Structure 1
């Protein structure tokens, strides 16, 4: 047992199986998937969050129905495990992108999985704004677009940045899962090269690079949040 453990530790520190060109390609693929999916999750999630918040506040019956439908869809996609979501979206991904493999093939599932999650964070961020500020804007005759641009977004911006930081970190984990089924990236490297070939040093390096990426995202997100928070 001790010899086996010692062998694993020696392999991890000497890293005889690590091919750095493969590591850099896998790192690029993970960053590519994370950045692109985060951008689109931010856009779609922000739009969904605004619609959810505004329709929940409306006294219109149509708006209430709209809120119920959108809320159900958001909850539905949030509840589906990511690995299953990828499989469910294979026909859609193939139709839209013409491929279901590689980093690009994972993007639809990553975006569709993350956008509803971020939409809820957006809705929560708007609900935390002082109601008096919003009501004052309405009472002065501000239009809906003006309220969104001049009140909701500026007031909730620190929370929105914090929310997209959490979403981006969750997406890093999702890219690792996507990698297991052929999307590339560090998850693919850890599983297909490291696990299936029993190369613990490759698993260690892939994990280390994922952790570094997560820490960088968290640092940048915290810095931006603190810069924008005027309290």
Structure 2
């Protein structure tokens, strides 16, 4: 027992030597993921809604617009993320003025976020019964009213769960952003844990990521259940 206590004391004493670097890495991860979540909501939600409204058989069917959006989303989602980061360096430099740093890393991450979440939005809206759309049309609802007062209300549980799943994926993607100097927890684990052969740092960062992901999953699942009208 004393050996375990002694080991744990040494373990945390060693890890806490890097507490400033750890907090900075966590902050960088939050910035990258936060920007990508904002992009997913601001751009991914309307793109996913357009995919739903313009697909074949829907009230606002538009095959050309649907095909364009569908192809773009599929290409971005299927593109290897590391290659996308490299290819987007000129675009990133044009947007933020540099290709290095946390803000620069958030650009390709946001692009993936928009494509990823838009597809989940489309899938969530497809689960809304067609009767809802018919009821909204029969009441003379405008397109905006139909979307916000009917579609989103009916699909709110799925949209929340989709955003939760997306956020966890964004965290996973953020761990490789060290290649463009984005920093973050993953970059910290590589530089201070793997490259310096410090297993304590590696295990500690893994624990941090597990706690972060589990917290987001629990919170998102709870919110989704509370918003699920079928269980009210």
Does the TM-score normalized on the shorter chain lie above 0.5?
A: yes
- The aligned length equals 220
CA distance in 2, matches of 1:48, 1:201: 43
2:210 counterpart residue number: 211
1:184 counterpart residue number: 183
Instruction: Report the TM-score when normalising by structure 1.
Output: 0.89
CA distance in 1, matches of 2:199, 2:144: 54
Q: After the TM superposition, list the runs of 4 or more consecutive aligned residues in structure 1 that deviate by more than 3 angstroms.
A: 10-13
Shift of 1:33: 1.2
Instruction: Report the TM-score when normalising by structure 2.
Output: 0.89
Which structure 1 segments of 5+ residues have no match?
Answer: 1-9
CA distance in 2, matches of 1:123, 1:129: 10
**Is 1:23–1:186's contact at 8 Å kept on the other side of the alignment?**
yes
CA distance in 2, matches of 1:141, 1:221: 34
Shift of 1:84: 1.1
CA distance in 2, matches of 1:194, 1:204: 8
2:11 counterpart residue number: 14
1:57-136 alignment to 2 at 5 Å? 57-58=58-59, 63-136=62-135
- Give CA-to-partner distance per residue, 1:104-139, whole Å, 9 cap, x none: 111111110111111011011111011111112113
Range moving further from structure 2, 206-215 or 149-158: 206-215
**SS of match in other structure, 2:77:** helix
**Is 1:49–1:120's contact at 8 Å kept on the other side of the alignment?**
yes
Which structure 2 segments of 5+ residues have no match?
Answer: 1-6
Higher relative contact order (CA 8 A, sep 6+): 1
**Is 2:51–2:69's contact at 8 Å kept on the other side of the alignment?**
yes
**Is 1:12–1:204's contact at 8 Å kept on the other side of the alignment?**
no
CA distance in 1, matches of 2:82, 2:178: 10
**Is 1:12–1:201's contact at 8 Å kept on the other side of the alignment?**
no
Backbone CA RMSD of aligned residues: 1.8
Distance change (3 Å), C-alpha of 1:65 and 1:203: same
CA distance in 1, matches of 2:96, 2:8: 40
1:119-198 alignment to 2 at 5 Å? 119-198=118-197
